[in-house]
Amino acid sequence: MELLERLCKTSGISGFENEVQEIMKKEFAKVCDEVEIDNFGNVIAKKGKGKKKVMIAAHMDEIGLLVKFIEKNGFLRFVKIGGIDDRVLLQQRVIVKSKKGDVLGIIGAKPPHLQKEEERKKVIKHTELFIDIGAKDDKEAKNMVEVGDPIILEPNFGKLSKDIYFGKAIDDRLGCYALIEIMKQIDIKESTIYAVATTQEEVGLKGAGVSAFKINPDHAIAIDVTIAGDTPNIKEKESNLKLGKGPAITIVEASGRGVITHPKIREILIKIAKEKNIPYQIDVIEGGMTDGAIIYKTRSGIPTGVVSIPTRYIHGPTGVFSMDDLNNTIKLVVNAIPKF
């Protein structure tokens, strides 16, 4: 649990993944034959010497914010990095990752007591929010932070009950953790396995495209999180995935705009799940994509599948997941790869 907690609490918004990078490089080095960080910041680990190449990928980056402007009164304006619902931002605690060190801040807005009736009915847009770092003016603020500094939501990690846990950036530090465990457990002579901790997934699946082009694997699996539909206000026809019912095997992402899982990969994953008594769920996604969406159309096309951990409250300050689902994801991929 210590490694997973460290991954979740570590800073790494898109384009600023260096802290997560170091963890992944260090952990991969313990269990893999070779590890490198490419020009795009992807951490690529290699294990085995077989002719067939298999790539497994999970992204390091998390959604977050970036300092855009410093007001004369010392408050910070910001832009969003990745898809964040403005409704979750108000009064959240954040950390500005300044070159001089971490700076704690609180996202503020005009208080409801001073809002007009029409204002109270509207979602406050992020462009109307600001970050209070306790500076008395812009001079003091500029001595603490700079325009362009990345901002993360306050780190958190813990246990709710039994196997249900919560944490910051579980999208997709759960996948990163899974990569390490898979590479630790897998040992096949017929293939060379490449585990790639990718960059900038949340802003365009960029790192996965670069690394897939370089590796040019014969098959690939992306490991990510997906939306659990077992909370109030979500209808089963919108999402029938549930925590604790096993990893989700994706058939289609974004109504076909994302990955359409290769039939061979899909059949292998489902067959292995049944043979090994691994609980699994089927995921058909109307919105959202994973690294698989860019990997499978790289070069002349790469047969690709996606295995995801059902998660509550994705792209918020805190996500909730089942440790059983995470462990079963690892078990499923470890047993499926030799069949590719």
Listed in sequence order, the DSSP H helices in the chain are 2-9, 18-31, 117-120, 138-144, 170-185, 206-215, 263-275, 292-295, 323-336
Query: Which of the residues 17, 62, 201, 253 is marked catalytic?
Result: 201
Q: Can you give the pLDDT at residue 11?
A: 97
Q: Which residues of the chain have pLDDT under 50?
A: none
Beta strand 43-47 with 93-98: parallel, antiparallel or unpaired?
Answer: unpaired
- The pLDDT assigned to 109 comes to 84
H or E segment and range at residue 221: strand 219-227
The phi, psi pair for 104, rounded to 5°, reads -75, 140
Rounded distance, CA 156 to CA 68, Å?
Answer: 25
| Domains of the chain, start order | 2-62+168-339 (3.40.630.10), 64-153 (2.40.30.40)
Predicted confidence at residue 67, as pLDDT, reads: 98
pLDDT digits (tens, 9 = 90+) for 263-317: 999 999 999 999 999 999 999 988 889 999 999 999 999 999 999 999 999 999 9
* CA atoms in the 13 A half-sphere facing the CB of 110: 12
Note the Cα 35 to chain centre separation in Å: 21
Catalytic residue list contains 201: yes
Tell me which residue of 332, 320, 333 sits closest to 227, measured CA to CA: 320
Give per-residue pLDDT as tens, 113-147: 766 777 677 888 999 999 999 999 999 999 999 99
What percent helix, strand, coil does the chain show, rounded to 5?
30, 30, 40
Task: Yes or no: say if 110 and 169 are a contact pair by the CB < 8 Å rule.
Answer: no
What do you get for the CA distance between the two ends of the chain, in Å?
30
Of 39, 5, 38, nearest to 23 by C-alpha is: 5
pLDDT at 75: 97
Confidence (pLDDT) at 92: 95
pLDDT of residue 288: 87
